[in-house]
RNA sequence: CGGGGCGUAGCUCAGCCUGGUAGAGCGCUUGGUUCGGGACCAAGAGGCCGUAGGUUCGAAUCCUAUCGCCCCGACCA
């Protein structure tokens, strides 16, 4: 029995948003703190199953667009990081360094990769000689480590899983095209699979990747109206080409540095997924990423009823699986109510109850993860109906999230309005004018903890004046508090 | 790295002030009765009280050191 004191309750969002977030993760069995390893987490089977679905969907898109997977070492010579000035400056505070191995101090320390631009640059230099070797389109699925002072499960942990694409091109135009292509893939994945609407944009100088010429990103709005950077795609220009001497002979016979890109999404996406859809009852998952689509819960009833309920449940499971759906017939020794709570907390999109009364009436009782009331559906044609319903549900989640984002995106023109939107812990997506200087950005960040999340790609030209300084601006940018 | 908090059963915690040899709820095991929104009864298992010293006849409790974790700030996918 669960009373108010038991630790398996989910704190309501309105009461304490970060407690809620952690409670959802715990109750859904997604992950838990690694405890004995600072700032790290254990991704549990249900959480990892979601990651595998994310991997599968993205990997397919990467392959379709001509990329190949490869794997580079976890350990990177310390000197490599130092070859690109901005890169080392950006990453050195969060590096974990291996100084000893085999019982001896190493001649040169290794850093545990925080990202792989440098070591991949080293190998690209060996692999690329001619324009015929380009473009070189590589992706790596890997773990990386960034020693963060303050961690939150999935959103920021010492070690995390991701994919990092690394490509080399013969021209800047071609590289920029790649950067935008991959950003688009991220956006389509976020919206189409995660049902998480995003704003595509360009990072400002101070927010861009250390070592990039320009960083593109997708930004999503969480339920507390804070922004989450959900994916990035970088135009590296020739910065790493020059640092690692990655040259090719062009068609004119001249040596030229390659133009590189890198792009990545991480297990942070799971954090975004949680904070986009979940509610006070636990996780809510879009069908396209749900490891289990349908939980079938039997109600066994009086003695003689059990056999027919078992049979009916098994046949439903079989029919749903024939539709390509992940269905679980939950015959564990628990009360039905217990199972309802559990599957709800795990975010299963649809639940089907089957009891003696349903069997007798040739029907099932159905409840989707967001519904407040149950419905009765005929048993006949159930497989098709469920499959179609899940598509609708996927769409419902997306529309719901998009409405929330739109409703909380506002245009602001005065500094007073700007301050009131961000008063206290409040945030929104604020479209406002900015004079484009690092100083103004820093002042706003200092005063309100608000940053320019990005300059949206679809922001129209619109003359105006900076919300803080009153200096001229040519377009609005996206401001928000962020994770 | 600054400020705060906490280490006692699988989990959440009480006990510590005022030393006397280990507790609760949940969870777990077994048996039975149950099953349309977190079942009930009964019987059990489970802890050298973070670690190392010290004080004492005696330490979860007092002292010292140490390690770890969480929260709040400065940095970040």
Q: In CATH, what number is assigned to the domain containing residue A458?
A: 3.30.110.30
* Residue A229 CB lies within 7 Å of the nucleic strand B: yes
Nearest to A256 by CA among A341, A99, A131: A131
Which nucleotide's C1' sits nearest to the alpha carbon of A33?
B69
Instruction: Give me the number of domains chain A comprises.
Output: 3
Helix (H) or strand (E) holding A436: none
Residue whose pair of structure tokens reads 């609005």 in the numeric block? A476
Q: Is residue A8 part of a domain?
A: no
Q: Is residue A53 part of a domain?
A: yes
What CATH number has the domain bearing residue A235?
A: 3.30.930.10
β-strand pairing of A350-354 with A294-298: parallel
| Calpha distance A113→A369 (Å, rounded) | 40
Q: Is residue A400 part of a domain?
A: no
Q: Are residues A351 and A216 in the same domain?
A: no
Which nucleotide's C1' sits nearest to the alpha carbon of A156?
B77
Q: Is residue A186 part of a domain?
A: yes
Q: Are residues A259 and A315 in the same domain?
A: no
Out of A251, A277, A303, a domain closes at A277
* Residue A33 CB lies within 7 Å of the nucleic strand B: yes
With distances taken from each CA to the C1' atom of nucleotide B38, the closest residue turns out to be: A338
Both tokens of A58, joined, read: 């993205």
Is A402 exposed, middle or buried, given 0-12, 13-18 or 19+ CB atoms closer than 10 A?
Answer: middle
| Calpha distance A75→A143 (Å, rounded) | 11
Q: What is the pLDDT along chain A (483 residues), one digit of tens a residue?
A: 233 445 677 888 888 888 888 889 988 999 888 877 778 888 989 999 999 999 999 999 999 999 999 999 999 999 999 999 889 888 888 888 888 888 888 999 999 999 999 999 999 999 999 999 999 999 999 999 998 888 888 998 888 999 999 999 999 999 999 999 999 999 999 999 999 999 999 999 999 999 999 999 999 999 999 999 999 999 999 999 999 999 999 999 999 999 999 999 999 999 999 999 999 999 999 999 999 999 999 999 887 899 999 999 999 999 999 999 999 999 999 999 999 999 999 999 999 999 999 999 999 999 999 999 999 999 999 999 999 999 999 999 999 999 999 999 999 999 999 999 998 888 999 999 999 999 999 999 988 999 999 999 999 999 999 999 999 999 999 999 998
Which nucleotide's C1' sits nearest to the alpha carbon of A363?
B36
Residue whose pair of structure tokens reads 């962020």 in the numeric block? A482
Q: Decide: helix, strand or coil at residue A193.
A: coil
Q: Are residues A456 and A320 in the same domain?
A: no
Q: Is residue A387 part of a domain?
A: yes
Question: What is the largest distance, in Å, between two alpha-carbon atoms of chain A?
Answer: 85
Model-level ipTM above the cut of 0.85: yes
Distance in angstroms, CA of A204 to C1' of B73?
25
With distances taken from each CA to the C1' atom of nucleotide B26, the closest residue turns out to be: A6
Which nucleotide's C1' sits nearest to the alpha carbon of A22?
B70
| Calpha distance A7→A411 (Å, rounded) | 42
Q: Is residue A9 part of a domain?
A: no
For residue A135, say if its preceding peptide bond is cis, omega within 30 degrees of 0.
yes
Torsion region of A99: left, alpha or beta (phi above 0 gives left; psi -120 to 50 gives alpha)? alpha
Q: Are residues A378 and A244 in the same domain?
A: no
- Dihedral of CA atoms A156, A162, A168, A169 in degrees, nearest 10, equals -90
| Number of H-type helices and E-type strands within chain A | 14, 25
> What is the per-residue pLDDT for A2?
30
| Chain B nucleotides with an atom closer than 7 Å to a protein C-beta | 1, 11-12, 25-27, 34-40, 68-77
Q: Are residues A142 and A42 in the same domain?
A: yes
Q: Is residue A366 part of a domain?
A: yes
Distance in angstroms, CA of A368 to C1' of B75?
42
Evaluated on CA atoms A426, A429, A430, A433, the torsion sign reads positive
Q: Are residues A149 and A198 in the same domain?
A: yes
Q: Are residues A206 and A90 in the same domain?
A: yes
What CATH number has the domain bearing residue A374?
A: 3.40.50.800
Out of A364, A392, A420, a domain closes at A392
Q: Are residues A361 and A422 in the same domain?
A: no
| Calpha distance A6→A124 (Å, rounded) | 55
Q: Which residue segment(s) compose the domain that A230 sits in?
A: 17-277
Q: Decide: helix, strand or coil at residue A409.
A: strand
User: Could you say which residues 279-308 of protein chain A have a Cβ atom less than 7 A away from any atom in strand B?
Assistant: 281, 299-302, 306
Out of A226, A244, A277, a domain closes at A277
| Calpha distance A151→A291 (Å, rounded) | 26
* Residue A338 CB lies within 7 Å of the nucleic strand B: yes
Return the percent helix, strand and coil in chain A, to nearest 5. Answer: 35, 30, 35
Q: Are residues A97 and A175 in the same domain?
A: yes
Q: Are residues A419 and A465 in the same domain?
A: yes
A394: Cβ–Cβ under 8 A, 6 or more apart, which residues? A195, A286, A287, A288
β-strand pairing of A159-169 with A259-266: antiparallel
Q: Are residues A91 and A207 in the same domain?
A: yes
Q: Are residues A210 and A145 in the same domain?
A: yes
Treating both helix axes as pointing N-terminal to C-terminal, what angle do A45-64 and A17-28 enclose, rounded to 10 degrees? Answer: 90
């Amino acid at each position: 029995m669960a009373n108010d004191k038991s630790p398996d309750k989910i704190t309501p969002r309105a009461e304490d948003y970060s407690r809620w977030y952690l409670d959802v993760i715990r109750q859904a069995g997604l992950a838990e703190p690694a405890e004995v390893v600072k700032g790290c987490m254990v991704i549990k089977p249900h959480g990892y199953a979601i990651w595998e679905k994310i991997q599968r969907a993205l990997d397919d898109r990467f392959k379709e667009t001509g990329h190949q997977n490869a794997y580079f070492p976890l350990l990177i010579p310390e000197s490599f990081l130092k070859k690109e000035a901005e890169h080392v400056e950006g990453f050195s505070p969060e590096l974990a360094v291996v100084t000893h191995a085999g019982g001896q101090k190493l001649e040169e320390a290794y850093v545990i990769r925080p990202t792989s631009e440098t070591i991949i640059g080293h190998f690209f230099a060996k692999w690329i000689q001619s324009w015929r070797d380009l473009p070189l389109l590589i992706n790596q699925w890997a773990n990386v480590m960034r020693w963060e002072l303050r961690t939150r499960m999935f959103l920021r942990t010492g070690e995390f899983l991701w994919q990092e694409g690394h490509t080399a091109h013969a021209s800047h135009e071609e590289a920029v095209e790649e950067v935008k292509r991959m950003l688009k893939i991220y956006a389509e994945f976020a919206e189409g699979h995660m049902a998480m609407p995003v704003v595509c944009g360009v990072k400002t100088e101070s927010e861009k990747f250390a070592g990039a010429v320009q960083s593109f990103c997708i930004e999503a709005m969480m339920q507390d109206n804070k922004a989450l950077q959900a994916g990035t795609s970088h135009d590296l220009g020739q910065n790493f080409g020059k640092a690692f001497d990655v040259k090719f002979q062009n068609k004119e016979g001249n040596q030229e540095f390659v133009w590189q890109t890198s792009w990545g999404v991480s297990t942070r996406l799971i954090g975004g997924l949680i904070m986009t859809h979940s509610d006070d009852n636990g996780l809510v998952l879009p069908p396209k990423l749900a490891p289990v689509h349908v939980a079938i819960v039997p109600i066994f009833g009086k003695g003689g009823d059990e056999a027919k309920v078992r049979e009916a449940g098994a046949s439903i499971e079989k029919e749903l699986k024939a539709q390509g759906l992940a269905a679980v017939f939950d015959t564990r020794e628990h009360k039905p109510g217990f199972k309802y709570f559990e599957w709800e907390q795990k975010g299963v999109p649809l639940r089907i109850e089957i009891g003696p009364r349903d069997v007798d009436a040739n029907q099932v009782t159905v409840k989707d993860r967001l519904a407040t009331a149950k419905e009765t559906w005929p048993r006949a044609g159930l497989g098709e109906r469920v499959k179609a319903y899940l598509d609708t549900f996927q769409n419902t989640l997306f529309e719901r999230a998009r409405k929330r984002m739109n409703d909380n995106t506002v245009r602001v023109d005065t500094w007073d309005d700007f301050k009131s939107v961000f008063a206290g812990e409040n945030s929104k997506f604020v479209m406002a004018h900015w004079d484009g200087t690092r100083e103004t950005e820093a002042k706003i960040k200092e005063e309100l903890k608000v940053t320019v999340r990005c300059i949206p790609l679809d922001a129209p030209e619109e003359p105006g004046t900076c919300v803080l300084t009153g200096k001229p601006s040519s377009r609005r940018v996206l401001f928000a508090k962020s994770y």
